[in-house]
Every structure is written in structure tokens, then in C-alpha cells.
């Protein structure tokens, strides 16, 4: 491709609309343009990258027996009502109606659609397993669309769904896809961690997210400093604190006035104690059950862990009326002392603490010198807090670290959640009708582009991994009016093209500085410069974008040198 013909509107200036470096570079390098909040056009260079990422996804999915199809983006409401998700998915789904007033949603994900297809077409265990996937535009009315392609409202996703006859085989499919995902991200030049993810009450480690470690990531993950334990913070567990039962001398319990002091920071300042010495008593409602959840003042409650502990979905903080009816005090003064009639669940970290401050179950009062066992009882000890830096690892004696990450993929064991709700059954070997066992697998195909740039750039621009670079080589004649330079550049351009190399020729009548800046901004992995020196020395200058390394090779060796570089770098993770 000749640069003079390429639709490549690069920008010198920092675009105002972008916060993240990857977003800025995508705009500056002419990969994308914004149409509306979270809605982007892919310009030719961006589309080439998207196509390459998609191709890698397709190759790895096909290699494990996946079959690509394409499902509609327009979803009839009735299908989503069968699973209750028309309501439950909420305002994230774009909804519209047709001229006959029938309701539709724009697909944010396709479990209902694929399950409907399979229930109508697949009858027998002989037709299983099935691993179906698509790469398609998804629509989600995100609350905060931002970071360009990273959190968009219209974006490209690879979504896959598997149908197996039993759990054992479904687990094998899960494992296959898990491995394929690793290959996909590596081939795209990403380093990643697969972390345990929250899967609601389905339980186990039935879900993993693939995270690219990056400061710009919107997700937090807990990683063990020693073993391979890795979990999304929503899911992360911790081991019991090692200093438990090391309590010192217990002081006397007394009730003190704390007028109007409800929040941890207010009480700790007023009583001059550290937040770590306070017990937060949170009253939760789950269905018809009310429970008290105790954590320390500097901790946060992890509602998913609380849900698993009490075995009920979606516990919610209780309303003020419920709080005052169970504690006898207005909200802000709940505490475990004298609290009866509801189950008290306490985080394990409270066990070894002593002389604590707790709510007084009385307006404007707190207890000081509160001690477990002597002053209050606990029904269930559990791990219910959000893990913090340096908490102990649940798998080994070492500590956890908290890191930020970009979620690029997600694999999830669904079991029979959708097949049961939608009556999707097959006849098994034993003649029995059974619901399909399903897994669901997603990759943020367009988000990958953002994640790659976020983790692979320098002050001059993007550094594309070879496998997804829009072009592999750029040929830059210093002076296009110099006949010898031009002829040689054209010859090299044609020669490399004939070898199947994807090559750009910067035939623009621009100053060399501008050409170099552009080639670095758009991140082409290999640059060939043709100038006066080339004539004199007979050596062609090749430079490598990632390392800045320069090589000089005679013309007759150029093709093989370039082919070698393309092959080497294609297999390299950035």
C-alpha cells in the first residue's frame, strides 16, 4: 500500500477526548474515530488490526473443534423473557420496538439466542459435543463508556457456547477453551493472568477471567507473591490471619456516648482509636432472612462471599426500618453485643482482635473494650471481607498482592442454567431426556487492541506485535524526487509484496522527520530506510521498532532477512 493513497488521518496534537495513552494513540495513529459516546468507526489501519486479531481467534477456536456461525444482533423480547433476563439485564440492554410494536433488544450477549437454536435443532447425544462461536458486534449501554475501544457501547466480541451431554465432558470443553484462550492472547502479544472469577452461587472455580496486568485496568486482582493463586478481587479469598488467638490483656467493657457519630471515620476520630480497632456491624437482608455481618473498620464487605456463606443470592444492605427493628437503634449504631434473633456472621480476621469498639445498639452510643466470647458471640466465622494487600494467601503461607488488570476474556461454566430455563433437552444414550450442559466463553476482540497498545508503546507511539501489526514493514525513501532512491524503494516494495510481506511504501513528498515520526506513531515493526548512503554502501538499513536496533544488509539478502524477522517476531510475546 502506498502511503499517499492510504486513508490515514494521523494527529499531532493530544486528543482531548482521551484519558488513556492507548486511547490517545488509537486516535493519533488514525485507527479509530468517535461517532458518539462509546461508538467508534474503525479506519483502514484499525480495521486491519481488528481483522488480524479476529483471524487469530478463529484459528485457535477452529483448532479445538469450534464452529463459527453468525447470530442476529436483533433479539425478540420473548426469548429473553424465558430466562427472566429481559428484566434482570436491566438498562445495559438497548431496547427498541418495530413498526408493529414488538419489542426487541440489541444483543449484549447471546445465551438465549444460541440455546433457542440448539433446542430446535439438536435432539440426540450423537450430535454432541457442540462448540459454536461467533465474532460479532455487541451492544451494551454501559454506564461509563470510556477508554475508547476498551469500554465501548458498540464493540466486537467473540462469544462461544458449548453444549455437552454431561458435566465431565463439559469440563473437558472448558479446559480446551481455557488453553486456546491462552494461545490467543499470547499470539496477540499480550502477557496475561488467568484469574478465578466470581460466578455467583453456581459455585466452585467455575469461572475464569483473562487479565492483562496494566495500571489502566478497571479490574483489581489478588495475586499470590509465591504460588499461582490468582483471583479477581470480587472473588478472592484469603487465609486465616496468622496472629489469631494472640490476644493481650482484656479491658473492661463500657458503653460510651458517641453523639451523632455513625461512620467509622467519625467514631475512630472521636474515640481516638484506629479504624482497625472498630467492628463494623452491617445488617443484611437476603430474601426473608436478616443477618449481621461483622468486619473491621478498615475492611470492606464482599457481598459475593457473604452470599456464599449464607447460601442465598444477592444479599442487600437492610433498610433503616429493618435495622432499627433488629438492633433497637437507628442505623449507624448496630453492634453484636446483645444482638439476638439474627445470625451473626463475622470475618475470620476479628478472631484474634481484642478490646474493640462496636456499636451500642442504642442511639448515639458505642461500646469500648468489647471482646469476642466474653461480650459477644458469633454464629459463623467466615471469610467475608474484600481481600487487602498483604492478606495471607488461601493456598500457601505467603501473602497476596493487589494488581490492576484489563479483562480481555472470560470463560464460565453455566451448567444447566439456560438449558433448564428454556427447556433445551436432548435424548441421552440411556434414552432419557436431559438438559444440555453449557459453558460460555467471551473475548473482547476490540478490547484486545486497546490492551495491546496500553502495554506496548513508547513516547513515540504504538509498538505493534508482529502478529497483529496493520503492516509488517514500511519502506521510507528519504527523498522521493531522487530517482535512484525512488527506483530502489519501489523495487524493494514490490519484491517484499511478492514474498507475501505486508508492506507500506511512504511515497509522500514529506520531510524525512515527518515520515519517521509517522512510522513510529503507527507502530510498524520493521522500517527500511533508503537514502543517499544506501547508494554509496550498497547496504539497506533496517530498523526494529520495538528495540530500536539497526541492521544493514545487502539487497540480495533483504527478502530473506525480512522474512526471518517477520517469522521471529510473530512468535514473540511483547
Q: Which is nearer to ligand ATP, 216 or 408 (CB)?
A: 408
Q: Which is nearer to ligand ATP, 49 or 503 (CB)?
A: 49
Q: Which is nearer to ligand ATP, 152 or 437 (CB)?
A: 152
Residue 142 binds to ligand ATP (criterion: CB under 6 A):
yes
Shortest distance in whole angstroms from residue 60 CB to ligand ATP: 16
Among 3, 8, 29, 152, binds ligand ATP (CB under 6 A): 152
In contact, 366 and 255? CB cutoff 8 Å: yes
Strand partners, 492: none
Environment class of 252 (CB within 10 Å of its CB; exposed 0-12, middle 13-18, buried 19+) = exposed
Q: Which is nearer to ligand ATP, 140 or 308 (CB)?
A: 140
> If DSSP codes are grouped into helix, strand and coil, which group holds residue 48?
helix
* Cα diameter, the chain: 95
Cα distance between residue 435 and residue 166, in whole Å: 9
Shortest distance in whole angstroms from residue 212 CB to ligand ATP: 10
Shortest distance in whole angstroms from residue 21 CB to ligand ATP: 17
Dihedrals φ, ψ of 244, to 5°? -65, 155
Q: Which is nearer to ligand ATP, 166 or 314 (CB)?
A: 314
Residue 151 binds to ligand ATP (criterion: CB under 6 A):
yes
Residues 6 or more apart whose Cβ sits within 8 Å of residue 35: 41
Residue 455 binds to ligand ATP (criterion: CB under 6 A):
no
Shortest distance in whole angstroms from residue 111 CB to ligand ATP: 10
Contacts of 220-223 with C-beta under 8 Å, sequence gap 24+, read: 220/402, 220/403, 220/404, 220/405, 221/193, 221/195, 221/402, 221/403, 221/404, 221/405, 222/387, 222/391, 222/400, 222/401, 222/402, 223/193, 223/195, 223/400, 223/401, 223/402, 223/403
Cα distance between residue 231 and residue 391, in whole Å: 13
Shortest distance in whole angstroms from residue 192 CB to ligand ATP: 11
Residue 217 binds to ligand ATP (criterion: CB under 6 A):
no
Q: Which residue in the block uniquely carries the three cell numbers 439438536?
A: 122
Residue 208 binds to ligand ATP (criterion: CB under 6 A):
no
Shortest distance in whole angstroms from residue 18 CB to ligand ATP: 15
Per-position b or e across 559-572, b if 16+ CB within 10 A of its CB: bebbeebbeebbee
**DSSP element (H, E) containing 509:** none
Shortest distance in whole angstroms from residue 451 CB to ligand ATP: 8
Residue 140 binds to ligand ATP (criterion: CB under 6 A):
yes
Among 52, 119, 417, 447, binds ligand ATP (CB under 6 A): 447
Q: Mask 379-418, x = binds ligand ATP (CB under 6 A)?
A: ----------------------------xxxx--------
Dihedrals φ, ψ of 290, to 5°? -115, 135
Segment 317-356, which members bind ligand ATP (CB under 6 A)? Answer: none
CB atoms closer than 10 angstroms to residue 428: 14
Segment 426-445, which members bind ligand ATP (CB under 6 A)? Answer: 442, 444
CB atoms closer than 10 angstroms to residue 395: 13
Q: Which is nearer to ligand ATP, 125 or 155 (CB)?
A: 155
Segment 12-71, which members bind ligand ATP (CB under 6 A)? Answer: none
Q: Which is nearer to ligand ATP, 134 or 268 (CB)?
A: 134
Q: Which is nearer to ligand ATP, 147 or 426 (CB)?
A: 147
Cα distance between residue 247 and residue 26, in whole Å: 56
- Please identify the residue of the shown chain whose CB is closest to the bound ligand ATP: 444
Among 40, 86, 155, 471, binds ligand ATP (CB under 6 A): 155
Please count the residues of this chain forming the interface with ligand ATP, following the rule CB under 6 A. 15
CB atoms closer than 10 angstroms to residue 501: 18
Q: Which is nearer to ligand ATP, 402 or 425 (CB)?
A: 402
Output the DSSP codes for 115-142.
HHHHHHH--BGGG--EEEEEEEEEE---
Cα distance between residue 434 and residue 119, in whole Å: 11
Shortest distance in whole angstroms from residue 147 CB to ligand ATP: 9
**DSSP element (H, E) containing 304:** helix 303-310
Q: Which is nearer to ligand ATP, 161 or 493 (CB)?
A: 161
Give the rounded distance of the alpha carbon of 66 from its chain centre: 23
Q: Which is nearer to ligand ATP, 444 or 470 (CB)?
A: 444
Q: Which is nearer to ligand ATP, 133 or 569 (CB)?
A: 133
Q: Mask 478-517, x = binds ligand ATP (CB under 6 A)?
A: ----------------------------------------
Among 109, 115, 324, 327, binds ligand ATP (CB under 6 A): 109
Q: Contact positions toward ligand ATP, by CB under 6 A?
A: 109, 140, 142, 151-152, 155, 157, 407-410, 442, 444, 446-447
Amino acid at each position: 500500500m502506498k502511503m499517499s493513497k492510504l486513508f490515514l488521518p494521523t494527529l499531532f496534537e493530544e486528543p482531548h477526548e482521551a484519558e488513556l495513552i492507548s486511547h490517545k494513540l488509537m486516535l493519533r495513529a488514525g485507527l479509530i474515530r468517535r461517532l458518539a459516546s462509546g461508538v467508534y468507526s474503525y479506519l483502514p489501519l484499525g480495521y486491519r488490526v481488528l481483522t488480524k486479531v479476529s483471524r487469530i481467534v478463529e484459528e485457535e477456536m477452529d483448532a479445538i473443534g469450534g464452529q463459527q456461525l453468525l447470530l442476529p444482533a436483533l433479539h425478540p423480547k420473548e426469548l429473553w423473557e424465558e430466562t427472566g433476563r429481559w428484566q434482570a439485564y436491566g438498562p445495559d440492554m438497548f431496547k427498541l420496538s418495530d413498526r408493529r410494536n414488538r419489542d426487541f433488544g440489541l444483543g449484549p450477549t447471546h445465551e438465549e439466542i444460541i440455546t433457542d437454536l440448539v433446542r430446535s435443532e439438536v435432539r440426540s447425544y450423537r450430535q454432541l459435543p457442540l462448540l459454536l462461536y461467533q465474532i460479532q458486534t455487541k451492544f451494551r449501554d454501559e454506564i461509563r463508556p470510556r477508554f475508547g475501544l476498551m469500554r465501548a457501547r458498540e464493540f466486537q466480541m467473540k462469544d462461544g457456547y458449548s453444549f455437552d451431554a454431561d458435566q465431565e465432558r463439559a469440563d473437558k470443553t472448558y479446559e480446551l477453551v481455557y488453553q486456546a484462550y491462552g494461545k490467543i492472547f499470547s499470539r496477540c502479544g499480550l502477557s496475561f493472568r488467568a484469574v478465578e472469577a466470581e460466578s455467583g452461587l453456581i459455585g466452585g472455580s467455575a469461572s475464569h477471567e483473562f487479565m492483562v496486568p496494566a495500571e489502566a485496568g478497571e479490574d483489581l486482582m489478588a495475586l499470590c507473591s509465591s504460588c499461582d493463586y490468582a483471583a479477581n478481587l470480587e472473588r478472592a479469598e484469603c487465609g486465616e490471619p496468622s496472629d489469631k488467638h494472640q490476644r493481650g490483656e482484656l479491658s473492661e467493657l463500657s458503653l460510651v456516648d458517641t453523639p451523632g457519630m455513625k461512620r467509622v471515620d467519625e467514631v475512630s476520630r472521636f474515640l481516638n482509636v484506629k479504624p482497625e480497632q472498630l467492628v463494623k456491624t452491617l445488617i443484611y437482608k437476603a430474601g426473608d432472612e436478616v443477618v449481621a455481618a461483622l468486619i473491621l473498620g478498615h475492611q470492606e464487605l464482599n457481598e459475593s462471599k457473604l452470599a456464599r456463606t449464607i447460601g442465598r443470592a444477592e444479599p442487600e444492605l437492610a433498610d433503616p426500618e429493618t435495622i432499627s427493628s433488629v438492633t433497637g437503634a437507628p442505623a449507624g449504631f448496630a453492634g453484636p453485643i446483645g444482638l439476638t434473633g439474627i445470625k451473626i456472621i463475622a470475618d475470620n480476621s476479628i478472631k484474634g482482635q481484642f478490646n474493640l469498639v462496636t456499636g451500642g445498639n442504642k442511639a448515639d452510643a458505642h461500646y469500648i473494650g468489647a471482646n469476642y466470647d466474653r461480650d459477644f458471640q458469633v454464629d459463623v466465622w467466615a471469610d467475608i471481607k474484600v481481600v487487602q494487600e498483604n492478606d495471607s494467601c488461601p493456598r500457601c503461607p505467603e501473602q497476596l498482592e493487589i494488581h490492576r488488570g484489563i479483562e480481555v476474556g472470560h470463560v464460565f461454566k453455566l451448567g444447566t442454567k439456560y438449558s433448564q430455563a428454556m427447556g433445551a433437552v436432548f435424548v441421552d444414550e440411556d434414552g432419557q431426556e436431559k438438559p444440555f450442559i453449557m459453558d460460555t466463553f467471551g473475548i473482547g476482540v476490540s478490547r484486545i487492541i486497546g490492551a495491546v497498545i496500553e502495554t506496548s508503546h513508547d513516547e513515540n507511539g504504538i509498538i505493534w506485535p508482529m502478529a497483529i501489526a496493520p503492516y509488517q514493514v514500511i519502506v521510507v525513501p528519504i527523498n522521493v524526487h531522487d530517482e535512484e532512491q525512488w527506483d530502489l524503494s519501489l523495487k524493494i516494495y514490490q519484491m517484499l509484496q511478492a514474498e507475501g510481506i505486508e508492506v507500506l511504501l511512504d511515497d509522500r513528498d514529506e520531510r524525512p522527520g515527518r515520515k519517521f515520526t509517522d512510522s513510529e506513531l503507527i507502530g510498524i515493526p520493521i522500517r527500511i530506510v533508503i537514502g543517499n548512503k544506501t547508494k554509496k554502501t550498497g547496504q539497506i538499513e533496517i530498523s526494529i521498532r520495538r528495540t530500536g536496533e539497526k541492521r544493514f544488509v545487502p539487497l540480495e539478502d533483504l527478502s530473506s532477512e525480512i522474512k526471518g524477522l517477520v517469522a521471529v517476531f510473530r512468535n514473540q510475546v511483547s
